Chain A
Amino acid sequence: MTKKINLTIDGIQVTADEGTTILSAARKLNIHVPTLCYHEDLCVAGNCRVCVVEQEKVRTLPASCATPVSEGMVIHTNSGKVRLARKHIVELLLSEHNADCTKCYKNGNCELQSLASQMLTGDHMFLDLVPDHHYTIDMFNSAIIKDDSRCIRCQRCVRTCEELQSVSALGVAYRGNHMKISTFFEHPLFEVVCTNCGQCVNRCPTGALIERNYVDQVWDAIYDPSKHVVVQTAPAVRIALGEALGMPPGKIVTGKMVSAMKRLGFDSVLDTDFTADLTIIEEGHELLERLKRSLVDRDPKVALPMATSCSPGWIKFLEHTFPELLPNLSSCKSPQQMFGALVKTYYAQKRKLDPRNVVSVSIMPCTAKKFEADRPEMRSSGYKDVDYVLTTRELAIMISQAGLDFNMLPDEPFDNIMGTSTGAGIIFGTTGGVMEAALRTVYELVTGREVPFEGLNITPVRGTEGEVRETSVKITKPKAEFRFLDGIEIRCVVANGLAYAKKVMQKVKDGKANYHFIEIMACPGGCLGGGGQPIPTNKEIRLKRKQAIYAEDMGMPLRKSHDNPEVKELYKDFLGKPLGHKSHELLHTHYTPRKRY
């Protein structure tokens, strides 16, 4: 049993578990101690010093986020000494910070700004140090912009990049007044191992790390009468968008979101879930094809296990970190890019549009999708398949700009064509979702029967954060053409967060893994915890979003990708068959080995 510690905070006697911090003990009492470098997802740094409190009989003010409770300690969170110290610290941060708030993308959603207003820091207590620092802005990346003049050196980004993602693209360089957050030899982000996952963007308390936003470009396209603007929305957007518009976490706002986008002026509001279903068909067949080549043809060149390829942060990570394992990646494009390729071919044909005049926009919980859309290989329609990628946050900005009262909007359905989806497509938004959707389809494809799980809920793959989840599904009595799979256990592994992805792939590289199928999502919790999701995102919020995704899946009339009538129609009218010629041309891609720094 954990030892209990008795202490007093602001005159209130409390008991806390040994090892808990003063900060969490205070929060349990609903005493709000301001913080800045502290983030629930990350290890404690204790470097901003905003959360200092006074401890009786101790000369210094301990940082409450970093100091464990101890027996008999008497804490004051709001003494005069504490108040002045905190004000000094915030003033110091402001003196080093480009506080040109009206020109900042994070204006109104900045933790430093709200601390400053709370502490009434209007009097410019100290000298402005910004002109003495030669701050630079790295704006050469298609997904993330890094503006050092707005950085307060809290190192949340550094900790995120190293701990959660094991990427370490960002690190601390120099010391003293020259200390800054930088990259390998200060190369721009696009030249280093950065995966564009945007987890740093999601945790940056100021505007130092932001997504490259395309809000104005999208408005321009909407206002251009010669353009037909198509928008697709990823599964994880509909369960998080509400948060950015004043709703509590975990609210499903699919109908309102569609209705808002129609009001914004998009010509057609469609669903990425449709191509998520399509991905399952293609990827499922690819897996079976690889299994057949391996088990029946004994082809030594076939790469197994096969890994999912929906998460662009994960793909770039693999390209940098394990380039020798690139053949293991499914050649399927991500749902976003499949959608983009089809919009300017299939959709344009069906709607009798000139693809030149079609603008394809996607709303994603992700910043890496911006980079993905800019990849040179993502032009198989003959045009840029996806013209603009907006994050969930950018869509929320557009909705606010348009003056829509989001809460009061009616629910509306997606447009057609390419607006129909199944529950399998929706769960792409959470870790384990692609695996579950694939198993629902592959098992049925092979055996002719539904997966043997109650209510189609394959709970063993529904991983949680901070773990690598392994499971297997046994194939019995397959159809004649899949007899080679009789009695075989399809061994699956699911991981989220690149730190865990690295563990899985290291095992594969070392030959210590006997998996068949690997699902990786770059972000903690999967897309629902993506870098483009509303800020804040933390463990508790991710859990609520996850519950919402599974609820949305349960509420769908169709729950298996291969039941999607529009997907069937697509194959009949346009693609022919899975892994066919047209599929290869439009829906599959290749990868590029990259450097390790």
Chain B
Amino acid sequence: MSESKLKRVDLIFGEYSSAKYKVLADTLKRSNEEILEDLMESGLKGRGGAGFPTAMKWKLAAEAQAKQKFVICNADEGEPGTFKDREILSRVPRKVFSGMAICGKVIGATRGYIYLRGEYQFLLADLERELDQYHENIRILGFDFPIEIKLGSGAYICGEESALFESMEGNRGEPRNKPPYPTTNGYMNQPTVINNVETFVNVVMIMRLGPIQFKLLGTTDSRGSKVFSVSGDTPIPGIYELELGMPLDKFVEEFGDGDTKAVQVGGASGFCVPRKKFKETVIGFEGVPTGGSMMLFNSSRSMYNVLHNYLEFFEEESCGQCTPCRVGCQQLRKGIVAVKKGNKKAQYLDQLMKLSESMKITAKCGLGQSVANSFSSIVYNFKEEMIY
């Protein structure tokens, strides 16, 4: 392998501090303003994919007036091609709990919940054991912030924050109308901060190392590092923590098999980048953002099959409440089949492209708005594969 290796980072999975929950204990001594200032300074953005500034989210929730507030860790890692939260929860759960507790302190929350993906039930026993220790430790610290794990039931849509609340409340997992946003009307209609697993760990690392150290990593728009789930046609699939803001060609150089024709960035709801755009594409909030999923495809793969697979997934995993997502996904998948079979002319793809644009701007939730991303990016870049 060449020398131009991407910089590996060891923040997330790095070793725990010497004493148990030391970072949490230290942070609890600081004022909320100081903590928020550090977060703001660090430029940390949510690691779930949407990239909302974490400090801003916490500040809004802290300012909201309510008797009860909640902190929720979104561990409903359901995006195809993403498997980093699983690893974080099994390797450094303490950092996750600490991050949640710090958030609880800052916003004045009474409880924390981890919404764990149903398929990750095998993590439950270990996490519960670890949580017992956490509760023991915060008792010694004289801090009251119990954390509980709630298990999902396997619906992709419940990773959408408001659908997740509905699911936690015992309702059908369907996204809510926004506004109002979770920071004022979240779980049980109370102010709630919901962050990705990785975001909470980042908070802890910022508290430990300081924002300046954190800012040394990444770019202006994308500070810090990111845990990537690398899969597909790569000789070295797995989980890698890399600096944000890397150019895609460097990534492919290191992880590709030498014949990479496309990378799907951000999972099934993300964007497909073709070989000719590797050089100009930056992985980060200024370029193509990702919740961590990087799927590589070499020239033996049919992008038609790839897209068909994604659309089939969304056809089933849309919650079904809003028209653009429910019917749009069916039309997109059946549409490419019709074109492939010759039942519809190639021009029909143009019609579907327009539809995909409408879906992106009219769907009710963030998921519905992103289901057409893979369609539009694959059809745009690999049109001939759709037709012939």
Contact = CB atoms under 8 A, between A and B. Distances in A.
Interface string A126-137: 110100100000
B155 A92 contact: no
Nearest to A45: B321
- Pick the 4 closest A-B CB pairs, nearest first: A179-B320, A92-B327, A66-B177, A88-B358
Interface in A164-222: 172, 174-179
Given A92-B331, A176-B315, A48 B323 contact: yes
A92 B317 contact: no
Nearest to A52: B362
Interface in A140-179: 152-153, 155, 172, 174-179
B362 A129 contact: no
Contacts of B326: 96, 153, 176-177, 179
Interface in A58-114: 59-61, 63, 66-68, 81, 84-85, 88-89, 92-93, 95-96
Given A84-B358, A89-B324, A177 B369 contact: no
B300 to A, nearest CB: 30
B327 to A, nearest CB: 4
Nearest to B319: A175
B93 to A, nearest CB: 30
B350 to A, nearest CB: 12
B362 A175 contact: no
A84 B362 contact: no
Contacts of B323: 47-50, 89, 92-93, 152-153
A177 B319 CA distance: 9
A591 to B, nearest CB: 33
A95 B327 contact: yes
B320 A153 contact: yes
Given A127-B338, A176-B315, A179-B326, A61 B331 contact: no
A129 to B, nearest CB: 6
A44 interface: yes
Contact of A47 (B179, B317, B322, B331): B322
Given A63-B364, A92-B327, A179-B326, A85 B320 contact: no
B138 interface: no
The secondary-structure label for the interface of chain B is: helix
B34 interface: no
A176 B364 CA distance: 14
User: Among A84, A88, A125, A129, which residue has the most Cβ atoms of chain B within 10 A?
Assistant: A88
A46 interface: yes
A176 B360 CA distance: 17
A61 B330 contact: no
A14 B77 CA distance: 44
Interface in A287-331: none
27 contacts: A44-B177, A45-B321, A46-B322, A47-B323, A50-B323, A52-B362, A59-B361, A60-B360, A60-B361, A88-B324, A88-B358, A89-B358, A93-B323, A93-B327, A95-B331, A96-B326, A126-B335, A126-B351, A153-B320, A153-B321, A172-B320, A175-B155, A175-B318, A176-B318, A177-B315, A178-B316, A179-B318
Contacts of A84: 354, 358
User: Among A44, A95, A126, A132, which residue has the most Cβ atoms of chain B within 10 A?
Assistant: A126
Size category, A interface: 35 or more
B348 to A, nearest CB: 9
Contacts of B155: 175
A177 B329 contact: yes
B157 interface: yes
A49 B324 CA distance: 8
A88 B324 CA distance: 8
B362 A49 contact: yes
B364 A177 contact: no
A68 to B, nearest CB: 6
B329 A49 contact: no
A49 B364 contact: yes
B338 A85 contact: no
Contact of A155 (B321, B358, B362, B363): B321
Nearest to A171: B172
A85 B361 contact: yes
Contact of A46 (B338, B351, B364): B364
A50 B315 CA distance: 21
A110 B323 CA distance: 18
Given A47-B321, A61-B362, A132-B334, 4 more contacts: A49-B322, A49-B362, A60-B362, A175-B155
Nearest to A92: B327
Interface in B334-361: 334-335, 338, 344, 351, 354-355, 358-361
B328 interface: yes
Contacts of A132: 330, 334
A60 B317 contact: no
Nearest to A46: B177
Contact of A176 (B316, B335, B338): B316
Contact of A89 (B174, B354, B362): B362
A92 B372 CA distance: 15
